[in-house]
Amino acid sequence: MLEALKEQPADKILALMGAYRADPRDDKIDLGVGVYKDPTGNTPVMRAVKEAERRIWSSQETKAYTGLAGEPAFADAMIGLVLGDAVPRDRVAAVATPGGTGAIRQALELIRLAAPSATVWLSNPTWPNHPSIIKYLGMPSAEYRYFDEATGGVDFDGMLADLRGVAAGDVVLLHGCCHNPTGANLTADQWQQTIAAVRAAGAVPLIDIAYQGFGDGLGADATGTRAVAGAMEECLIAASCSKNFGIYRERTGLLMAVARDAAQAKVAQGTLAFLNRQNYSFPPDHGARVVTEILTDADLRADWESELEEVRNTMLGLRQALADELRRLTNSDRFDFIARHRGMFSRLGLTPEQVEVLRKDHGVYMVGDSRINIAGLNQDTVPVLAKAIAEVAS
Ligand code: PMP
């Protein structure tokens, strides 16, 4: 049987990680994989996470199975964090999932079950795992324009024009904030226009929110998601706790299905639990428990929010410093968009050849589409990177 297997294409970002590790140069710079790193290059365990784990360790008396949907307290806490009071709680069905990826996978499984011929519309570009999972599940997909290479901003006219082609019952996948890979995001007004377009088409939004708190702040980053949930009869929301709680390997996420009423939410809840059962039975619990502990304890929550703010402001400072240095070196505003982008990523708009020169000649590792992880920098490496970019881009 196994001889029938074919070599699977390597994940480009993980392959880049390997190449970086194998590079003997001391002054190499890793701007690849999407993990937050502090100025010393570490991905720390957040203080509140450590304390929550200590409390769980000392008080937990069983590791028997939880519910198929995970602990209800986790769902409640996360719904509060993501949706605030945008929709009544009884309209929201939710299941814990292994990370944001698990939430996206379960959302797509739900769509496939309910509407097998629905086309899933993806931003061009998007996180490569979106099309990859959709293709694996054999679901139809299409792209809407999103990024304007010339300005480094959102091609909003193109996006709206493409959304006019969406059919009733199709699904439109939107990034809740901190768009990956571009870093370019919708304004509040553009969210409203997007909602109007999706409603007019009779489509269902699927929101992927993986970086809440990394852009403009916890509340501000949820503005679009809350507006969608408040305005639409139905939507799906996949939330990840990997980045904002720094618990990447704990695999912690939540899938929410906002239904038109409580009765449909109940059926959706049963379906989500069923889907968990088919795929992995009970979702991971440890990370979810840590998140619940933090969100429901006033002191832990305050400490988490303040550390997350430090993380966010560190990235904003690096964005500004890189944009300023590039402005000085290129004597132009070509790279000013880096300071306007939000989240961990920016797409620089360099060619694959230029990205290759940066790697070979300068030891700078970024994804082939010229996406950089801004958190891979610090105040010392900003000028080094700016100089290298200015050189290859001139
Ligand atoms: N969505 C997007 C856009 C992401 O960038 C990521 C992480 N790279 C995820 C979802 C899911 O992350 P995880 O499964 O690690 O929670």
142-157 tens-digit pLDDT: 999 999 999 999 999 9
> Ligand 1 atom 5: the closest Cα is on which residue?
180
Estimate the crossing angle of helix 188-201 against helix 223-231, to 10 degrees.
30
Q: Measuring from each residue's beta carbon to the nearest atom of ligand 1, which residues come in under 6 Å?
A: 34, 99-101, 127, 175, 180, 208, 210, 240, 242, 248, 253
Half-sphere exposure of 305 (CA within 13 A, CB side): 13
pLDDT of 347 strictly over 90: yes
Q: What number of other Cβ atoms are within 10 A of residue 152's Cβ?
A: 21
Question: From the CA atom positions of the chain, what is the Rg in Å?
Answer: 21
Q: What is the pTM assigned to this prediction? A: 0.97
pLDDT of 13 strictly over 90: no
Query: 3-state secondary structure string, the chain?
Result: CHHHCCCCCCCHHHHHHHHHHHCCCCCCEECCCCCCCCCCCCCCCCHHHHHHHHHHHHHCCCCCCCCCCCCHHHHHHHHHHHHCCCCCHHHEEEEEECHHHHHHHHHHHHHHHHCCCCCEEEEECCCCHHHHHHHHCCCCEEEEECEECCCCEECHHHHHHHHCCCCCCCEEEEECCCCCCCCCCCCHHHHHHHHHHHHHHCCEEEEEECCCCCCCCCCHHHHHHHHHHHHCCCEEEEEECCCCCCCHHHCCEEEEEECCCHHHHHHHHHHHHHHHHHHCCCCCCHHHHHHHHHHHCHHHHHHHHHHHHHHHHHHHHHHHHHHHHHHHHHCCCCCCHHHHCCCCEEECCCCHHHHHHHHHHHCEECCCCCEEEHHHCCCCHHHHHHHHHHHHHC
pLDDT of 384 strictly over 90: yes
pLDDT of 167 strictly over 90: yes
The atom number, within ligand 1, closest to the CA of 101 reads: 14
Residue type (1 letter), 8: Q
pLDDT of 171 strictly over 90: yes
pLDDT (0 to 100) of residue 198 = 98
Q: How far is the CA of 1 from the centre of ligand 1 (A)?
A: 33
pLDDT (0 to 100) of residue 14 = 85
Kindly indicate the confidence band of residue 59, based on its pLDDT and cuts at 50, 70 and 90: very high
pLDDT of 9 strictly over 90: no
* pLDDT tens-digit series, residues 319-339: 999 999 999 999 999 999 999
Q: Give the mean pLDDT of the chain.
A: 97
The arithmetic mean of pLDDT across residues 190-202, rounded, is 98
Kindly indicate the confidence band of residue 33, based on its pLDDT and cuts at 50, 70 and 90: confident
* pLDDT tens-digit series, residues 251-302: 999 999 999 999 999 999 999 999 999 999 999 999 999 999 999 999 999 9
Q: How far is the CA of 361 from the centre of ligand 1 (A)?
A: 31
Mutational pocket test of ligand 1: of 11, 78, 101, the residue with most ligand atoms within 8 Å of the beta carbon: 101
